[in-house]
A and B are shown apart, each in its own frame.
Chain A
Amino acid sequence: MPIEILRENVRTAHQELARSINGHADHPLHQQRTAALDAFLEQGVPTTRHEEWKYTNVLPFIGIEYAMTLCTTCFITDAECARTIGPIADALESGWRIVLINGRIDRAHSSIPEHVPGLRILPLTDATIAADARIAGVVGSNAPAQSHPFVAMNLALADQGVVIHVDANVRLERPIHIACIADTRTSHRLSTPRIVVVAEQGSSFDVVESHHTIGDMTALDVTVAEVSVAANAHVRYHKVIDDGESMRHIGSTSADVARDGSFTAHTASLGGAFVRNDAAVRLCEPSSQGFLFGTSVLQGHEYADNHTTVDHCVPHCHSEELYKGIYDGSSVGVFNGKIYVRPQAQKTTAYQSSHAILLSERAQMNSKPQLEIWADDVKCSHGATTGQLDEDAVFYLQSRGIDAAKARALMTYAFVAEVIERIELPSLRQHLEERIAEKLGAEPFAE
């Protein structure tokens, strides 16, 4: 009865959270937690009979006894932290870093910018939400708790996540790095980081969310990021999952975009036993734009599922989706892309494509575009391909003196590079180029 165990454990963890906030159960955040708990209990844990989880079986790791409550003995040294998040943190050269350990802000390992004009970084607590109606209004505003049990579970247990608030017309020079670490050295652990991003009118900035484990026991990392993009604001949200076999990640990144604003999400799935990413953008006012990009480079028994939703609510909006993956070994990829064009959303342009290369006979890719178009004056397209590497092209490169392994690396790398090149943050782009090259087993280009 793994599902019942999980439900009971979440319910217990929620009650403990209520006790810890000391009689403030009537605070708005806690009321949302309680509503979310009900939504979670009502939906239950999805099985593969559920359309949204058709290819994605969570049951194998749902019955594990996870520790869920605040870990008072989890102590991570500076060296351990640096070793874990170092590669990406160093590459970003940002210095603005928020470290969440088991879903909660850890100030000791963070380096939170304190005096940057127009930038506020706050813990997501009952007090924060009670004090700021603008931030409170974003929590639960676009992440689909009613239709996604894990999004509901995240909110039911959300505590001490992160709020990023950027004032009108502020352009941040550096990316804000959010590193989520699960400590699984002494127990299996469920962590539920909640991230709230508010971009006021005309602001522009980058966020990088990365996920890590310390320890060999199982981490179930259920992360939800909600973004509110005000008029003419531009937010680029990058998510990197490049971890080991302990990691099971279920994440949701969603945004509402106002007039002339844009939201770009890029998800890189480069490792982890199980990765499910839901990326959603709702274009709420005319001339808003949404871009969803994804790269998966998997091998062994790795698994990555990208579910996307683009909701065109009004006329004159534009969206683009490009997902590319390389699957070796027995790895499995899923792409499920939904586009809604509402009846009033005339003059919509919406383009979606998903392409995969399978390097082994055991690797698998499942693609499902789902377009629902209710307006009649729109331009929408979708394309999904799955294929093997072109062996004639490999021979062509060999005939120029490049060995077969390097030729394959060069071509597979070039295949995903089309997505990586779209990343506007140079430090992250370079880091991902290097990591992908490393994972493909050869330096794709001569120095």
Chain B
Amino acid sequence: MTPILSIQQLTAGIEDREILKGIDLVVNPGEVHAIMGPNGSGKSTLASVLAGREDYAVSGGSVTFMGKDLLDMSPEERAREGMFLAFQYPIEIPGVSTANFLKTAVSELRKHRGLDPLEPAQFLALMREKMKLVEMDSSFLNRSLNQGFSGGEKKRNEIFQMAMLEPTLSVLDETDSGLDIDALRIVAGGVNALRSSNNATVVITHYQRLLDYIVPDVVHVLWNGRIVRSGDASLALELEKRGYDWIKNEASVEA
């Protein structure tokens, strides 16, 4: 079975500071991986490097996505190949309506896959169907993208976009942070509904709470730019109970 994502000895940083110090990670179809870790351990950097944010420079290692060199692709090519990043802080874009934005994004994706654009009626029906998944009101479609949205609405909008774009790999960057329990349930429900044996999800989170709703196959602990421990869902519960300090101590001893 070809993995969806294969990261080997990835090192990356911003300006002169190295943040990722040798990441290894393999994600297979159908799997959900959780990456946990204390603040500043490199979780969001990993998400940004995977999405292709230019601020971060990759200094070594490789990332293979569906058999192709991911690091060689522009951010838009990654998206068209099936990579999706749900942003920790979704950007507000005044004047661009959610509907027009998605119409453009979906058309680009379909063009890349050799498909004709959807008819307007088909597209509208698709949007309505996917909005139900995250319990979004259709009035959001004509509003400027994320502008004036509450924190929970922005996160639901990220999952709505994910549903529209049907990615092969979804990376959720702290999608749970700042959500109340109802919003968390809705967001997690959306993610679970989109899971299939052909796609995979990487959930980056600080808190175990989300993993009650999105049950991971593998849990990794990231600390100081390295994955220092991997295990099954029970690892998350142990972290919740014992905090991150024991991991840090063990990692320091090993290093």
Contact = CB atoms under 8 A, between A and B. Distances in A.
A402 B76 contact: yes
A401 B95 contact: no
A442 B95 CA distance: 17
Given A402-B108, A414-B94, A446 B117 contact: yes
A8 B26 CA distance: 83
Interface in A362-420: 390, 392-393, 395-404, 406, 410-411, 413-415, 417-418
B161 A400 contact: yes
Contact of B74 (A397, A398, A411): A398
Nearest to A412: B95
Interface stretch (B34-42, B84-92, B207-215): B84-92
A410 B96 contact: yes
Given A445-B100, A447-B117, A400 B93 contact: no
Interface in B71-114: 74-76, 78-80, 84-85, 87, 90-96, 100-101, 103-109, 112
A401 B91 contact: no
29 contacts: A392-B91, A393-B92, A396-B87, A396-B90, A396-B93, A397-B105, A398-B52, A399-B75, A399-B76, A399-B79, A399-B84, A400-B165, A401-B105, A401-B165, A402-B104, A404-B76, A406-B104, A410-B96, A410-B101, A410-B104, A411-B93, A411-B96, A414-B94, A414-B144, A415-B94, A445-B103, A446-B100, A446-B106, A447-B107
A353 to B, nearest CB: 14
B95 A418 contact: yes
Q: Most B CB atoms within 10 A — which of A401, A406, A418?
A: A401
Contacts of B75: 395, 398-399
B96 A399 contact: no
A401 B108 contact: yes
A406 B107 CA distance: 13
B5 interface: no
B161 A414 contact: no
Contact of A401 (B53, B54, B76): B76
B53 A395 contact: yes
B83 to A, nearest CB: 8
Of all A-B residue pairs in the complex, the 5 with the closest CB atoms, nearest first, are A414-B95, A401-B79, A446-B107, A398-B75, A396-B91
A326 to B, nearest CB: 12
Contacts of B51: 395, 399
Contacts of A404: 74, 76
Nearest to A406: B104
Interface of B: 51-54, 74-76, 78-80, 84-85, 87, 90-96, 100-101, 103-109, 112, 117, 144, 161, 165
B57 to A, nearest CB: 15
A401 B92 CA distance: 17
Given A393-B93, A410-B96, A414-B94, A400 B117 contact: no
A67 B72 CA distance: 60
A189 B91 CA distance: 50
B91 A393 contact: yes
Nearest to B123: A446
A401 B85 contact: no
A446 B107 CA distance: 7
A404 B100 CA distance: 17
A171 to B, nearest CB: 30
A445 B97 CA distance: 10
B101 A397 contact: yes
Nearest to A400: B105
Contacts of A414: 93-96, 144
A411 B92 CA distance: 11
A322 to B, nearest CB: 13
A399 B52 CA distance: 8
A9 B165 CA distance: 66
Contacts of A390: 91
Given A393-B91, A418-B95, A398 B103 contact: no
Contacts of A392: 91
Interface in A426-447: 445-447
B161 A401 contact: no
A401 B84 CA distance: 9
B64 to A, nearest CB: 19
Given A400-B105, A447-B117, 12 more contacts: A393-B92, A395-B51, A397-B93, A398-B79, A401-B79, A401-B109, A401-B112, A414-B93, A414-B94, A414-B95, A414-B144, A445-B104
Nearest to B162: A400
A441 to B, nearest CB: 15
Contacts of A415: 94-95
A405 B52 CA distance: 16
Contacts of B96: 410-411, 414
